[in-house]
């Protein structure tokens, strides 16, 4: 099957996107504003924040490989844990994990169906350890019990089901050594010490077959491994332009075919099969607008059966006729997008998710033999009947002619004739994705729905540098932080103003990670473009950002330097300083709200501290919310809800939308209001001050 580690390796080395991008805080003198239309509170029911951002009732549904068990994540004492129930009796559910503080965000079944495996960090530090729970006894244990260590999954096997390959950086924080983990005994056996490689690829026999090492050009060299010996010279290489769109993706079970995601010789990444014996490569699928996005593989053979591309929406194409028949059958019964999240080893049952956008997502159990579709759960049943709004797909054009795939959500009741344009201009929030080597996609989006419900148009733009649209689109963002990447955002706002969607003085900018940087850049570099902004864990100083990256990102530092700027050269350092909002903080005149996790390993707390200090020194009001138990984003629902409470009340002050009172959300979270409580409506009262 396609190796999940290989597929996501390079993307994980970028500043990842955050699902908790949020709004902005108050300051500056009030000014005259253009007339806009906001929806009266009585006209559209207010969707409670808790319904959008609190714990789901259930999430992450799977079925065990042997088909005997259903599993999912659900609250236990208010914290998301992993639950199971017999597939024959879903009502006989029991919690298998005992997380009491941070929610469990990822879990998976052991190949032999005898245990559940999950990862967990401490306080958002992203030093994820691997844990296992025995299904028969319920015994839970730490499988990688090391301090300051981050586990990686290298490979699982169809034929060796009681073992997996993992990477551990407990010897050297920069490098992950490969270990064979016995899931029964917990024994770890060193397979390959890592002396400078970014990662490894294994076959179904759990033998390492390839090593990946960054090269000086900002790309990657690929070395074959034979009988445990890494070749002296690479057999394949990429330069910078293909570095984010080319990587090996895994082997078939028999080891005779290796799959590639490959953009070499083309713009978009194709799905390619390589005959291991002869080296001959065959293109399975390619698309001139989008990179290969996903694949379904036979649980037994590992052969690809279907693939997808995502341009504006995801489109699946089946190679295998039986898979095609099943996908077509599902397509006639499910409204909106759907996908397969889990399959039994005999492929008789699938777990299928369905996203109708304007209704809560639902998960089903699909019996392929019986041709039946049974409801597994609705993730957020409290949203049934809520005024969720459709999402529009757009193709905008940048000032230099690039097409920018984008998404727009309008407030309920604002577009009576359903032509995609409100009858009168409404305030708008430009919601910027993180990464920047990531993308926005179509589907239910809690932030789009939340902000639209509060009376705002919400626009998300895939600016240059976003992934999924070919290497040329990514490379167009090289060395363009705060310049052409930002121009794309401004062009999108100008389009919205020209269309009558919003007014030029009623637009907020908000986002997390790179989206937080874009917020700071928007207020510092283009201070007249936005009415206010929200920065969530965004870097303010690109020089210090690159100097404090996690140690396990060091192997790919050359790519950061080539795409952002090289601080080791005088011209590179000068550019990084020029593009850092910190050095233009004095230009900020509009309301700003900052949210930060104290344990963030990607964007250190100092990034937020620096710009808050600079703004205070210049007498510019700023509101700063710090979470001592969070990292790169807010994992705990209570913290997420609290920040959103602050954010929507700020936006109500800044843009004139509606909001729920902050209430006791601050008291129920770990939020520390470091600065500027007086600039957000109701915040001082919520703090008891």
Provide the annotated active-site residues.
513, 600, 632
SS (H, E, C) 411-431: CCCCCCCCCCCCCCCCCEEEE
Backbone angles phi, psi at 141, to 5 degrees: -150, 160
d(CA 272, CA 390): 36
**Which residues lie below 8 Å from residue 376, measured CB to CB, with a gap of 6+?**
58, 61, 70, 72, 90, 351, 362, 363, 364, 365
d(CA 57, CA 77): 13
Q: Would you tell me how many other CB atoms lie within 10 Å of the CB of residue 330?
A: 19
d(CA 396, CA 342): 36
CA 364, 368, 370 angle in degrees (round to 5)? 100
SS3 (DSSP) at 375: strand
Strand (E) positions, 100-162?
106-109, 115-120, 129-134, 140-142, 151-155
C-beta of residue 639 within 8 angstroms of C-beta of residue 103: no
Burial classification of residue 383, based on how many CB atoms lie within 10 Å of its CB (0-12 exposed, 13-18 middle, 19 or more buried)? buried
Strand (E) positions, 321-443?
337-343, 349-355, 362-367, 372-378, 391-397, 403-409, 428-432
Q: Classify residue 152 by its DSSP letter.
A: E
Of 504, 505, 530, nearest to 518 (Cα)? 530
d(CA 505, CA 686): 29
C-beta of residue 662 within 8 angstroms of C-beta of residue 643: no
C-beta of residue 405 within 8 angstroms of C-beta of residue 394: yes
* Token reading at 123: 């306080």
């Amino acid at each position: 099957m396609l190796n999940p580690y290989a597929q996501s390796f390079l993307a994980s080395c970028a500043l990842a996107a955050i699902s908790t991008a949020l709004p902005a805080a108050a300051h500056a003198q009030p000014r005259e504003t253009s007339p806009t239309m906001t929806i009266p509170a009585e006209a559209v029911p207010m969707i409670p924040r808790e319904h959008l951002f609190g714990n789901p009732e259930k999430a992450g549904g799977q079925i065990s490989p042997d088909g005997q068990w259903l599993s999912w994540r659900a609250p236990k004492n208010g914290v998301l844990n992993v639950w199971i129930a017999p597939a024959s009796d879903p009502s006989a559910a029991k919690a298998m994990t005992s997380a009491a503080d941070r929610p469990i965000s990822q879990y998976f079944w052991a190949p032999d169906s005898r245990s559940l495996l999950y990862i967990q960090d401490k306080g958002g530090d992203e030093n994820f350890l691997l844990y296992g729970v025995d299904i028969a006894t319920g015994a839970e244990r730490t499988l990688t019990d090391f301090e300051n260590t981050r586990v990686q999954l290298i490979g699982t096997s169809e034929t060796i089901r009681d073992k997996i390959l993992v990477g551990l950086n407990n010897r050297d924080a920069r490098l992950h050594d490969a270990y064979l983990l016995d899931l029964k005994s917990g024994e770890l056996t060193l397979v390959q010490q890592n002396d400078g490689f970014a990662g490894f690829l294994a076959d179904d026999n759990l033998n390492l077959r390839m090593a990946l090492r960054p090269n000086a050009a900002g790309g990657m060299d690929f070395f074959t491994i034979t009988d445990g010996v890494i070749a002296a010279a690479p057999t394949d290489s990429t330069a910078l332009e293909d570095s984010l769109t080319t990587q090996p993706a895994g082997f078939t079970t028999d080891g005779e075919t290796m799959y590639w995601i490959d953009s070499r010789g083309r713009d978009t990444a194709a799905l390619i099969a390589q005959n291991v014996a002869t080296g001959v490569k065959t293109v399975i699928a390619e698309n001139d607008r989008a990179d290969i996005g996903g694949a379904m593989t036979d649980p037994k053979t590992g052969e690809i059966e279907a693939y997808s591309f995502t341009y504006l929406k995801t489109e699946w194409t089946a190679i295998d006729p039986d898979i095609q028949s099943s996908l077509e059958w599902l397509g006639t019964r499910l409204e909106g997008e759907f996908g397969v999240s889990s399959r039994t080893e005999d492929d008789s049952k699938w777990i299928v998710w369905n996203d109708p956008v304007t209704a809560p997502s639902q998960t089903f159990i699909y019996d392929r033999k019986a041709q039946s579709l049974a409801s597994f759960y609705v993730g957020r049943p409290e949203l049934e009947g809520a005024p969720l709004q459709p999402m529009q797909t757009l193709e905008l054009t940048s000032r230099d002619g690039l097409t920018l795939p984008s998404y727009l959500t309008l407030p309920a009741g604002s577009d009576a004739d359903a032509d995609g344009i409100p009858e009168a201009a409404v305030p708008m929030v430009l919601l910027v994705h993180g990464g920047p080597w990531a993308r926005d996609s179509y589907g239910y989006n809690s932030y789009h729905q939340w902000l639209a419900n509060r009376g705002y148009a919400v626009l998300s733009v895939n600016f240059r540098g976003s992934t999924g649209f070919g290497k040329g689109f990514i490379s167009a963002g090289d060395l363009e932080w705060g310049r052409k990447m930002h121009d794309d955002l401004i062009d999108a706002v100008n389009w919205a103003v020209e269309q009558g969607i919003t007014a030029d003085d009623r637009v907020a900018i908000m986002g997390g990670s790179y989206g937080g940087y874009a917020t700071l850049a928007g207020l510092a570099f283009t201070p007249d473009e936005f009415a206010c902004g929200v920065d969530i864990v965004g870097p303010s100083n690109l020089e210090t950002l690159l100097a404090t990256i996690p140690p396990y990102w060091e192997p790919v530092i050359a790519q950061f330097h080539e795409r952002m700027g090289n601080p080791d050269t005088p011209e590179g350092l000068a550019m990084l300083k020029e593009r850092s909002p910190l050095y233009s903080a004095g230009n900020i005149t509009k309301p700003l709200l900052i949210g930060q996790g104290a344990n963030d390993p990607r964007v250190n707390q100092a990034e937020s501290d620096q710009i808050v200090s600079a703004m205070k020194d210049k007498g510019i009001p700023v509101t700063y919310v710090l979470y001592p138990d969070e990292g790169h984003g807010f994992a705990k629902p209570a913290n997420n809800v609290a920040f959103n409470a602050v954010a929507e009340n700020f936006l109500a002050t800044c843009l004139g939308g509606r909001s729920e009172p902050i209430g006791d959300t601050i008291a129920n979270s770990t939020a520390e209001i470091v600065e500027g409580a007086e600039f957000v409506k109701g915040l001082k009262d919520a703090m008891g001050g």
